[in-house]
Structure 1
Amino acid sequence: MDATVLWSGDDVLVIGIAAVLPRAEARQRLRAAVREAAAQWLQLDIEAISAESTPGAPPRLLLPGGVASLSFSHDEGLSLAAVHLHGAVGIDVMRVQDIADWANLARDYLGPQVAEELAACPDALRPLLLAQAWTAREAALKCAGRQLAEWDGVALNCHLQAVETPQNFVATLATIRGQTRRV
Structure 2
Amino acid sequence: MNTLAVQPWPGPAPAPQDGLFAILIRTTVRSPDAQRDAARRQIRLAAREALAAVLRRPIADVSITSMPGAPPRILLAGPESLIGCSFSHDGDYALAAFNLQGPIGADLMHVQDIPDWQAVARDYLGPAVTAALLAAPDRPHAFTQAWTQREAALKCHAQQISEWQSDLPGQSISLALPVAGLLGHIHIGDRSA
TM-score, normalised with respect to structure 2: 0.85
Unmatched tracts of structure 1, length 5 or more: none
Residue in 1 aligned with 2:108? 93
Whether the 8 Å contact between 2:27 and 2:42 is mirrored in structure 1 is no
Letter in 2 for 1:161: I
1:133 shift after superposition = 0.3
Letter in 1 for 2:122: R
Residue in 1 aligned with 2:125? 110
Aligned length: 177
Partner Cα separation in structure 2 for residue 160 and residue 134 of structure 1: 12
Q: 1:54 aligns with which of 37, 56, 67?
A: 67
Whether the 8 Å contact between 2:69 and 2:158 is mirrored in structure 1 is no
Taking only aligned residues, the RMSD between alpha carbons, in angstroms, comes to 2.0
The 1:149–1:33 alpha-carbon spacing in structure 2 relative to 1, beyond 3 Å, is same
Q: 2:55 aligns with which of 42, 49, 58?
A: 42
Percent identity of equivalent pairs: 40
Unmatched tracts of structure 2, length 5 or more: 1-7, 30-34
Whether the 8 Å contact between 1:20 and 1:78 is mirrored in structure 2 is no
The 1:46–1:162 alpha-carbon spacing in structure 2 relative to 1, beyond 3 Å, is same
Partner Cα separation in structure 2 for residue 110 and residue 155 of structure 1: 9
Residue in 2 aligned with 1:30? 43
Residue in 1 aligned with 2:142? 129
Q: Give 3-state SS (helix, strand or coil) of 2:16's partner.
A: strand
1:6 shift after superposition = 7.7
1:50 shift after superposition = 0.4
Whether the 8 Å contact between 2:48 and 2:64 is mirrored in structure 1 is yes
Partner Cα separation in structure 2 for residue 57 and residue 96 of structure 1: 27
Letter in 1 for 2:59: I
- CA offsets 1:59-104 (integer angstroms, 9 cap, x no match): 1111145422111111112110112122110000010011111101
Partner Cα separation in structure 2 for residue 39 and residue 131 of structure 1: 32
Residue in 2 aligned with 1:151? 164
